Structure 1
């Protein structure tokens, strides 16, 4: 490995750690009505295609688009670029860096309060009816057992917290956007809460809450979440992509698929490409924010 490669890898690890720690620090209890009776066990749920049909950030983007945060041409162009890289299996390092650096910068200048209020509206408009009943039942099962339940997602923490609150879950960890005096700067704290960063978030929260990870559960649809799934004692693949399904079978993990027929068969390619593409589209929307200020 060349020195530049080592540097990039170290930088990624550092950003993942920062993102995870920031997400855990922001994971306040939302609406747990009762004191949990099982204090050392918890469940962690990915959101996109695990708890919710499709990508939450796509539904969020649609809501923001309707409110003129960016144009159709800009989001479609960025989505296609990201989808192309995922379909052909090539991601240009400069493109990835650009996407990371611009992620969530479309909210620069907007207030935390504004985004939270808009998020409530967007949840009612485009998210509530997309919750998978089967996954929701699994989350409720953990709550009924006296365990806490957190969402862990690359979506903005504000949106993740709204979903958790509306579903009566304990709380959420998501991508943290930097803000000063209640106004977003357009920069991230660390990195997107994705892949290794999710594992860092779970680890940091477990340390804070005195959780025994060997007694905890984790749920996801994507092989990208193997770092999180592999660190708990009970992992479950929900609506899994092909690689996660194969890994889960080898490991003896539970598998739940709430999709049907051809839709499930195609999901490994289409969902990964489309969800990733729209995530990249949001990340690439930096250039158009100033028009609203």
Structure 2
């Protein structure tokens, strides 16, 4: 059996999956305006310079601290309720097409993400992937996040989890594919016979060119193809109505400039 392994953030999705659901968490009272500004600043850095190990470690620590005490069932409910509006506008059409192509070729589709299972699993179901490998939080006796992780699907751990799945499911990794944007996923890409660097950061791009790997460019179009959410839907995504959040996406450059301006003003005020 062959498989196709897809990273989620900045590969299948154009941005962080956590940030995609931040407005819903804010409306539910789980986040404050300050958290949104901090998240927007992190997202700008993430898009511009990529996700190096030290930067990801800082973000992970911050997110674990922020989400400590959140009720897991409430998070699942919020993600399920706003799934289409959150991810459809930021899903790369090329990724959806590749998933359909690999599925048609009989390959197993696996989503591999450092995002928590509560986000990655519903997204995987909407994309109609076969398996989701994601991070798993430790819950307290009330079913709330404890601020600790049972499993962190990041870096070399991604490759270990992929190999474990391959042994369990009889997947031939030498004949399988993997897609990612980040140097932190180098072990994942090295684990398969057909690695593809998607919108790679500088370090991954350099390695991909040196090794002769395929380098793909995914573009987020103004009117991206919608994601098929029905497991019984045909292979090609079916048209759906444009979600309201897509109109907000078209204002993303202005929002980014506004956030940058606010953060710059805050920084100068702090210095003063």
TM-score for both structures, normalised by structure 2: 0.69
Higher share in helix: 1
For the structure 1 residues 209 and 70, does the alpha-carbon distance in structure 2 shift closer, same or farther, using more than 3 Å as the test? same
Which residue of 2 is the match for residue 164 of structure 1? 124
Are the equivalent residues in 2 in contact too, given 1:104–1:177 (CA < 8 A)? no
One of 241, 256, 259 as aligned partner of 2:219? 259
Which aligned pairs between 1:1-293 and structure 2 lie closer than 5 A?
40-77=1-38, 80=41, 100-101=60-61, 103-180=63-140, 183-190=143-150, 192-259=152-219
Are the equivalent residues in 2 in contact too, given 1:115–1:158 (CA < 8 A)? yes
Are the equivalent residues in 1 in contact too, given 2:15–2:43 (CA < 8 A)? no
**Distance in structure 1 (CA, Å) of the matches to 2:219 and 2:68:** 37
CA-to-partner distance for each residue in 1:116-147, whole Å, 9 max, x for gaps? 22111232222112111111111111111111
How many angstroms does 1:259 deviate by? 2.9
**Distance in structure 2 (CA, Å) of the matches to 1:88 and 1:145:** 35
Are the equivalent residues in 2 in contact too, given 1:107–1:184 (CA < 8 A)? no
How many angstroms does 1:63 deviate by? 2.4
For the structure 1 residues 132 and 227, does the alpha-carbon distance in structure 2 shift closer, same or farther, using more than 3 Å as the test? same
For the structure 1 residues 209 and 194, does the alpha-carbon distance in structure 2 shift closer, same or farther, using more than 3 Å as the test? same
How many residue pairs get aligned? The number is 220
How many angstroms does 1:92 deviate by? 11
After superposition, the CA RMSD in angstroms is 3.2
Q: Which runs of 5+ in 2 are unaligned?
A: 221-255, 257-272
> Which stretch has the larger CA shift, 217-226 or 183-192?
183-192
SS in 1 for 2:82: helix
**Distance in structure 2 (CA, Å) of the matches to 1:53 and 1:111:** 27
Are the equivalent residues in 2 in contact too, given 1:123–1:163 (CA < 8 A)? yes
Are the equivalent residues in 1 in contact too, given 2:67–2:147 (CA < 8 A)? no
Q: Which runs of 5+ in 1 are unaligned?
A: 1-39, 261-273, 275-293
**Distance in structure 2 (CA, Å) of the matches to 1:256 and 1:227:** 18
